Structure 1
């Protein structure tokens, strides 16, 4: 699925392989595509999905992705460095959240070890990004 350029299109399928709906949107941060609200089910490109995953791991992964996408959808500052640091911190937090799901529900020892490494590495990188942001506060736009 393309996330940054062009039109992104993906289809959601249930465990039986049936297509549930289509998600499309222009790049990231658009209000199109997949949205999820409590008690509302999943909407894909304006179509209601027939089922939500019932297993707790899949639901936790989906919630993590929803949160990450929401956190990354903050308005851009116009400063590439600021925007990179802010968005990467949110992106890394999404990876940490997914790794925690693997630690909780996963069974493979190699993947669980990788998940722990993701948590350790990305936590450190988030701190580095936050430190950079503190040392380089966003500049106010000059009004003309």
Structure 2
């Protein structure tokens, strides 16, 4: 089994670019109801992951900012507290699972560090459930989808 089996391709992943504003980032996260999203460079490289917590701590530490001013704040000004590491598409499954234990999703990159998608921890758990619990609801659902 390889990482590509679990890959959600970048076309289906909600991301922000590193030159996005605070407000654009916040609105994108709110619209899609995500608490964290990958940050991608203009060249398509994975840079980091921004979380709701990062945005909230920035607001707390900058009380002079009003919501109306957030379009003037660059995402690059927001300190990111989590170091969500990426994994290369050709990495071992052990590497992916090690990261997935502490990250809700693992960004996946190619050999040039270009972002190609994510692997969600929930997808790994669903797969393991199917293997461990034959006859489970997950197995029935997967059989129905096939």
Instruction: Report the TM-score when normalising by structure 1.
Output: 0.25
Higher relative contact order (CA 8 A, sep 6+): 2
